Amino acid sequence: MNRPVSDWCSRRVWVVGASTGIGAALAQALLAAGARVAVSARSAGRLQQAFGEAPQAVLLPLDATDAEALERAAATLVETWGGIDSAIYVAGDYVPMRAWAIDLAAARRMIDVNLVGAFAFASAVVPRLLAQTGENGGKASGGDIAFVASVAGYRGLPKALAYGPTKAALINFAEALALDLQPRGVGVRLINPGFVATPLTAQNDFAMPALQTPAAAAAAILAGYRGTAFEIDFPKRFTRFMKLLALLPARLYLPLVRRFAGQ
């Protein structure tokens, strides 16, 4: 379904959401693999601290919800590099939320970062990837675009009242993009991690099964790129369990998840 990527040497990669967590670890792993990496995030200081001395890095600070900034950054990269080979949207926001304590401001922020920002990213990147396919029926590689969602998007989960729906919508969005773009020579990948130790998951007050480090998550993502699958999910011992749960009818799923959550 996608062209495998095993050699990142000189590959032109744009990572949005690269200041901390999975995004920062992924950008570092890509640089170590020889890629040219553009890193974007709101915090210019964090980007400078993490990537300022990397000769293969291009620092493009921006807010992932700013469509005009994303468009300018994409144009800058095409002008500088001549094209984009892989574009990866890692930006995300998470605030634990329950039904009796809905925070509309926090919910809107998660919708903006997790979903609307992904649309803006695709709007800036997809036309440029399509332009790279040439005029031979999409046989030439137009590069690929990827989105980091979450297993929280598979089904409803406790404390994910706003986060889960944004990731479910992102999964649907990536699937729709794949239907349109893969036949035209542009790859689409969906990345669904389990729990990863980041500043966002540090807010959780419950045990997180199969918790991984950002470095382990980055390694799993690069391993996934070596294959052709649409979805890259990890760690398998956890994601397979979540996929199995997602197949259950609501009359079984809801009480079972309540029991696991200790409710």
Distances (CA, A) of 242 to 111, 205, 210, 235, 252: 23, 20, 12, 11, 14
The whole-number pLDDT of residue 139 equals 45
Distance, in Å, from the CA atom of 203 to the CA atom of 192, rounded to the nearest integer, reads 20
Domain regions of the chain by residue span = 12-260
Distances (CA, A) of 227 to 1, 16, 150, 231: 9, 22, 19, 10
Whether 94 is catalytic is no
Given a cut of 70, the residues of the chain with pLDDT beneath it are: 135-141, 263
The whole-number pLDDT of residue 142 equals 72
CATH topology of domain 12-260: Rossmann fold (3.40.50)
Percent of the chain with pLDDT over 90: 93
Out of 89, 94, 154, 163, which one is annotated catalytic? Answer: 163
**Measured torsion, CA atoms of residues 152, 157, 162, 167, in degrees rounded to the nearest 10:** 20
List of residues 6+ apart from 12 with CB closer than 8 A: 35, 36, 38, 77, 81, 82, 83, 84, 85, 86
Distance, in Å, from the CA atom of 168 to the CA atom of 152, rounded to the nearest integer, reads 7
Q: What is the pLDDT of residues 164-211, one digit of tens each?
A: 999 999 999 999 999 999 999 999 999 999 999 999 999 998 989 999
The whole-number pLDDT of residue 260 equals 86
**pTM for the model:** 0.95
CB contact at 8 A, 122 and 74: no
The whole-number pLDDT of residue 136 equals 39
The whole-number pLDDT of residue 141 equals 63
